[in-house]
Structure 1
C-alpha cells in the first residue's frame, strides 16, 4: 500500500512539474509587438506597447492610433487589425501605440485638466469623489505631441493624414480637452464616454470658449470627431436589474447625477450647431451598453474610421 502511495505521489509530482514547465516555456507571444520604457522630460516614464506590421509599407505610409489607458485596449485593437485587414476589408493594417504606466497609474493626473476652481462631486453614499492628483493634461499633451509622436514618426513611415487618438472615460475627456484647446495633431479623435461630470461640467466652459474663438471654426484639413456613449450609462442594464434594490437605487442615483447620456448629447448638439468647417462630426449611443462595455465598440468604430482604405 505504501509503495502504491509513493508511485501515485511520484506520478502527481511529475505531472505537476510537466505542467509548470509547459507554462514556463510556452508563454503567449504576440507577433510584431514590443513593450518599451519611454522617458519624458515633462512627466517621467511611460510604458509604451507598439504593434507594427511586418509587411511592405503602403505608398502613403501607415495609419497610426494612440491608445490612452493602453493596457486596457491594446489587445482588442491588435486583434482588430490582425483579423480584419485584408485586400477586400474596410480597414488597412497600421501602427498601434498604447500608452500606459509601469507600476502605479497616473491616469487621473495625466488625463484631467486643471480648472481655476475645482467643483467636488458628492457620491450617493455622501463620500466626496476627489482625485488625489489631477491637472496634468497640458503636460501630457506636450509629451504626446512633442516627444512620443515625433519618435514614432521617425521610426515608422506614418501617413500624415491618418493619425488617430482613442480615449475612454477620463481618456475621452482628455481627447476632447485637447481638441478644444490645442492645435489639431490628429486626424481622428475617438472619444468614448467622456467624463463630462468632471468638476461640475468644466469642459462645457472650455467648449464655449472654443466655439467663440473664430479660429476654431476653420480646420486646415478634414478631421473626424467620433463621440459615443453607452445607452445604459444613465440607467440600469438588464443584468443590473437583478441586483438588490439597495444596489440598484445606489447605481441609478449615481448615474443620474452624472447624466452621461444627457451631457454628451448636449455637447454634441453644441458642436453640431457651431458648424465647424472641415469637422466630420458623428455621435453614437450604443444601445444596452454600460460605461465599461461601450469602450470596445467605440474602439472598433474608431479604427474603421481612422484606418479606412
Structure 2
C-alpha cells in the first residue's frame, strides 16, 4: 500500500498537470445546463429488510469501502439509529480510508416509523421498571426492556447476512450507539464483551430506570477476570447536556412535556458519564476514554461522537 505522502505527491502532480493543460483554455461543458433530476443514493451501498420470526421488521444498510479487503477480511463498524448516523459515519470512514484502511459500515434500524416506535423496547435492558421512568411522554414509554432480543438479532441474523455478502474480519468489530443506543452499546459490552473489540457509547442513557444497567457490572467483571476479553470503550457526551438548553426547551414546549423537574438535571448525563468512566477504569481496569464536547447538546453532539469514535476505532485496527 502506498504511503500517505506518496499518495499526496501523486495527487499534487496530477493536479499540476491538469492546471498546466488548462492554463490557456477554459474547460468545455460535457452535460446540458439542466441535467436530469434523480434521487440521491450512496455509492457502494446496499440495503435489506429483515423480518424476524416474531414478526418484527428491521432495515439493515451496508456501505462498502473502495479498497479491496485485507487478507483477514474487512473490519466492521455497526451503528444504531442509522437515519441520524449511518451516512455521517460512512463518509467519515471513507474519508479516513487512505490514512488508515478500508472499513465496512453497517446501519441497523427500522423499516418504518411504526417499527421505530419500538426503539424504547429494543435498546433498554431487561429489569426496566416503568415506574422509575420519567413521565414525559403523553402515551407512556410503551414496551421496554427488550435489549436481550435485539442483541440476539444483531449478533445472529444481521452478522450472518453481512458475512455472507462480504469478507469480514471477526476480530475487528465495533458497535456505535447514541442516547438509548449508547445504553444498549454498554449493555452489550457488559453482558457479551466478546461480541466486539471496540464500543462507542455516545451520550449513553445511564440514568435509565434507576441505572438498571449497572446491575450487569458483576457479570462483566467475571468475564474480564477470565482473561478472554479486553474490550476498548469510548464514552462521549455533550458539554451542554447537564442542563436544558434553549433549543431543547422549545422542543419540550412543542411536545407539551413538563419542564419541571428539569429533565437534563434528572438524567445527569455528564455526571453519569464521568462516574462510569472512573468506575470502569479504576475498579475494572477497562481501557476506557471519556470525551466531553464543549458547547454541544444531546442532539448536536452526534456528528462529533461519530467522528471521534471512528478515529478511536481505526487507530487500533490500523496502528
Whole-angstrom distance in 2 between the partners of 1:202 and 1:289: 27
Pick from 43, 56, 59: which aligns with 2:68? Answer: 56
Report whether the alignment pairs 1:78 with 2:85.
Answer: no
Deviation of 1:37 (Å): 0.9
Q: Please give the alpha-carbon distance, in whole angstroms, between the structure 2 residues aligned to 1:31 and 1:240.
A: 34
Question: Displacement of 1:42 after TM fit?
Answer: 5.3
Using a 3 Å threshold, how does the CA distance of structure 1 residues 251 and 288 change in structure 2: closer, same or farther?
A: farther
Greater Cα offset, 265-274 or 151-160? 151-160
294, 306, 310: which one aligns with 1:287 = 294
SS at match of 1:71: helix
**Structure 1 counterpart SS, 2:235:** strand
Aligned to 1:31: 43
CA distance in 2, matches of 1:146, 1:241: 37
Contact 2:128 2:144 in 1 (8 A): no
1:101 maps to: 110
2:189 is the alignment partner of 1:179: yes
Structural mapping, 1:160-179, within 5 Å: 160-179=170-189
Name the TM-score, length of structure 1 as normaliser: 0.80
**1:44 to 2:53 alignment:** no
Per the alignment, do residues 219 and 304 of structure 1 end up closer, same or farther by CA in structure 2, a change over 3 Å counting?
Answer: farther
Counterpart mapping for 1:254-293 below 5 A: 254-276=263-285, 279-293=286-300
* Aligned partner of residue 188 in structure 2, secondary structure: helix
Instruction: Pick the aligned partner of 1:234 from 238, 242, 249.
Output: 242
Unaligned runs of 5+ residues in structure 1 are: 1-17
1:294, CA displacement in angstroms? 1.6
1:222 and 2:230 correspond = yes
**CA distance 1:260–1:22, change in 2 (3 Å):** same
Moved over 6 A (4+): 126-129
**Superimposed CA distance per residue, residues 93-124 of structure 1 (whole angstroms, 9 cap, x where no aligned partner):** 2111101111120211111122164443345x
Superposition RMSD in Å: 2.8
- Give secondary structure in 2 for the equivalent of 1:264: helix
> Secondary structure in 2 aligned to 1:53?
coil
Q: Give the distance between the partners of 2:179 and 2:132, measured in 1 at CA.
A: 18
Q: Which residue of 1 aligns with 2:205?
A: 195
Q: Spell out, residue by residue over 1:11-49, the C-alpha distance to the aligned partner (whole angstroms, 9 max, x if none).
A: xxxxxxx98x943xx221321011211233356221111
Give the equivalent residue in structure 2 for 1:9.
none
**Structure 2 residue matching 1:194: 3-state secondary structure:** coil
Stretch deviating more after TM superposition (95-104 or 198-207): 198-207
Higher relative contact order (CA 8 A, sep 6+): 1
Q: Secondary structure at the match of 2:289?
A: strand
| Contact 2:76–2:103 under 8 Å retained in 1 | yes
| Separation of aligned partners in 2, 1:74 and 1:307 | 17
Deviation at 1:79, TM superposition (A): 1.2
Larger strand share, 1 or 2: 1
Partner of 2:148: 138
C-alpha displacement of 1:256: 0.9
